[in-house]
């Protein structure tokens, strides 16, 4: 809206001009959630649900937890796989040692134990940062791997070192089919996405971002670094721990410590970088990319090899996958640090203005 002041034309910005795009985005997200809850279980095959959608949802939940710590609070962590393992084994011990405990409570208690361990290993963040903090969190990975492999109490004295869970039941609902497992994970994903979105908009979320941008200035204006960093570690580890329990109970069913190795920690960090640091939607984009890309390469590269009369082995496909991940991480860090979420946002803005350039 234009108006004249002191002989010059100026524009006034009205906040209500942005109401329609915001409402439109909410309608789109609501429609996607409704389709995911109603249409996908009806139309998707068992293979699609078990091999693609289940790991996508659980890894997206874990990526949300990592993004809170790395993207919003700026604390580099390489121990996410350890926190997933803590959540899985803690939930397993609650299940076998406390009779009659509901499954949802069991999974959440696994997250609480992971939060406690996350706070313990987050204490070094009060003194160190950057690469030194990454090494300190990496120590959590090796400590947890050793503990779950050597201390038999965590595995209920299993002779093979692996543990398993039986039929899952949620308040009388037998979660046995792939569609049931998918709906359970979808419910957790929606709840944690809403929780994280509201947390980062709250006062504690603003404190996390202030610590991320400049911790010295944040301290000067009255923000307590110890409180902000440890709460970020606690919330992040809680969400990652619940994701680890879901990964073990719902997706694997039977697992051992190798299921939560350091490769899992790097995988979650790659999701956050590719999807977008400081973006909840980017967590889902990064998880989808990480889950779908190996399946695409396993189908596409052998086909390309057959076209040019060249045999491509499984090892070559695995090495190509690692090289593509590395190249994409370097590209995103240099060209677009905010990842796929930023590219999606820019694309939406251009479509709203199209065909007019301004």
- In tens, the pLDDT along 229-282 reads 999 999 999 999 999 999 999 998 889 888 898 889 999 998 998 998 888 999
Compute CA 57 distance to the chain's CA centroid, rounded to the nearest angstrom.
Answer: 9
Which residues partner with 10 through β-bridges? 3
Mean pLDDT of the chain: 85
| Torsion angle defined by CA atoms of residues 79, 80, 84 and 89, in that order, rounded to the nearest 10 degrees | 10
Task: Tell me: pLDDT of 45 over 50.
Answer: yes
User: With bands split at pLDDT 50, 70 and 90, how would you rate the model's confidence at 5?
Assistant: low
Compute CA 214 distance to the chain's CA centroid, rounded to the nearest angstrom.
Answer: 24
> In the prediction, which pLDDT does 18 show?
44
> In the prediction, which pLDDT does 3 show?
44
Rounded Cα–Cα distance for residues 124 and 230 (Å): 10
> In the prediction, which pLDDT does 17 show?
41
Burial (0-12, 13-18, 19+ Cβ within 10 Å), 258 = middle
With a CB cutoff of 8 Å and minimum separation 6, the contacts of 119 are 230, 233, 234, 237
Compute CA 103 distance to the chain's CA centroid, rounded to the nearest angstrom.
Answer: 22
- In tens, the pLDDT along 172-200 reads 888 888 899 999 999 999 999 999 999 99
DSSP 69: I
User: Of 115, 124, 349, 327, which Cα lies nearest the Cα of 242?
Assistant: 115
DSSP 167: -
3-class DSSP state for residue 100?
Answer: coil
- In tens, the pLDDT along 291-350 reads 988 888 888 888 888 888 888 877 888 888 888 888 888 888 888 878 888 888 888 777
Task: Tell me: pLDDT of 2 over 50.
Answer: no
- Between the alpha carbon of residue 149 and those of residues 94, 146, 261, the distances in Å are 18, 5, 12
> In the prediction, which pLDDT does 56 show?
94
> In the prediction, which pLDDT does 250 show?
92
The two structure tokens encoding residue 191: 């709840």
How many CA atoms does the CB half-sphere of 346 hold within 13 Å? Answer: 7
User: With bands split at pLDDT 50, 70 and 90, how would you rate the model's confidence at 87?
Assistant: very high
How large is the greatest C-alpha to C-alpha distance in the chain, in angstroms? 86
> In the prediction, which pLDDT does 356 show?
64
pLDDT above 90 covers a percentage of the chain that reads 37
3-class DSSP state for residue 357?
Answer: coil
The two structure tokens encoding residue 83: 């926190």
> In the prediction, which pLDDT does 358 show?
54
Which residues partner with 175 through β-bridges? 168
- Over residues 142-155, mean pLDDT: 90
With a CB cutoff of 8 Å and minimum separation 6, the contacts of 248 are 88, 89, 91, 92, 165, 255, 259
Task: Tell me: pLDDT of 161 over 80.
Answer: no
User: Of 91, 92, 251, which Cα lies nearest the Cα of 158?
Assistant: 92
User: With bands split at pLDDT 50, 70 and 90, how would you rate the model's confidence at 10?
Assistant: very low
Rounded Cα–Cα distance for residues 140 and 122 (Å): 10
- In tens, the pLDDT along 111-140 reads 999 999 999 988 887 887 778 888 888 888
How many CA atoms does the CB half-sphere of 190 hold within 13 Å? Answer: 13
Task: Tell me: pLDDT of 23 over 80.
Answer: no
Most confident listed range (84-98, 122-136, 153-167, 299-313): 84-98
Lowest mean per-residue pLDDT among 63-72, 318-327, 346-355: 346-355
Chain length of the chain:
358
């Amino acid at each position: 809206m234009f108006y004249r002041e002191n002989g010059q034309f100026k524009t006034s910005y009205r906040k209500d001009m942005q109401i329609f795009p915001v409402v439109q985005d909410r309608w789109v997200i609501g429609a996607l959630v409704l389709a995911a809850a109603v249409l996908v279980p009806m139309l998707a095959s068992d293979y699609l649900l078990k091999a693609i959608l289940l790991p996508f949802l659980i890894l997206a939940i874990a990526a949300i937890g990592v993004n809170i710590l790395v993207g919003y609070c700026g604390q580099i962590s390489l121990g996410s796989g350890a926190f997933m393992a803590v959540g899985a084994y803690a939930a397993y011990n609650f299940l076998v040692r406390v009779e009659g405990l509901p499954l949802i409570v069991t999974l959440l208690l696994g997250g609480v134990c992971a939060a406690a361990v996350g706070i313990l290993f987050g204490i070094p963040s009060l003194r160190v940062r950057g690469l030194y903090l990454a090494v300190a969190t990496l120590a959590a990975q090796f400590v947890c791997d050793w503990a779950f492999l050597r201390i038999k109490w965590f595995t209920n004295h299993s002779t093979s070192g692996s543990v398993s869970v039986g039929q899952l039941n949620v308040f009388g609902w037998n979660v046995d089919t792939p569609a049931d497992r998918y709906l359970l994970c979808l419910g957790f994903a929606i709840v944690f996405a809403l929780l994280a979105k509201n947390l980062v908009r709250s006062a504690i979320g603003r404190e996390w971002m202030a610590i991320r941008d400049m911790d010295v200035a944040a301290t000067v204006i009255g923000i307590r670094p110890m409180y902000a960093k440890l709460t970020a570690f606690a919330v992040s580890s809680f969400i990652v721990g619940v994701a680890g329990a879901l990964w073990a109970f719902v997706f694997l069913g039977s697992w051992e410590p190798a299921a939560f190795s350091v490769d899992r920690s790097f995988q979650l960090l790659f999701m956050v970088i590719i999807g977008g640091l400081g973006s909840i939607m980017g967590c889902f984009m990064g998880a989808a990319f990480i889950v779908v890309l190996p399946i695409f390469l396993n189908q596409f590269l052998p086909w390309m090899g057959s076209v040019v009369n060249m045999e491509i082995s499984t090892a070559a496909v695995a090495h190509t996958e690692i090289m593509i991940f590395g190249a994409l991480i370097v590209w995103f860090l240099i060209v677009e640090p905010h990842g796929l979420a930023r590219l999606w946002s820019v694309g939406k803005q251009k479509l709203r203005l199209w065909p007019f350039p301004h």
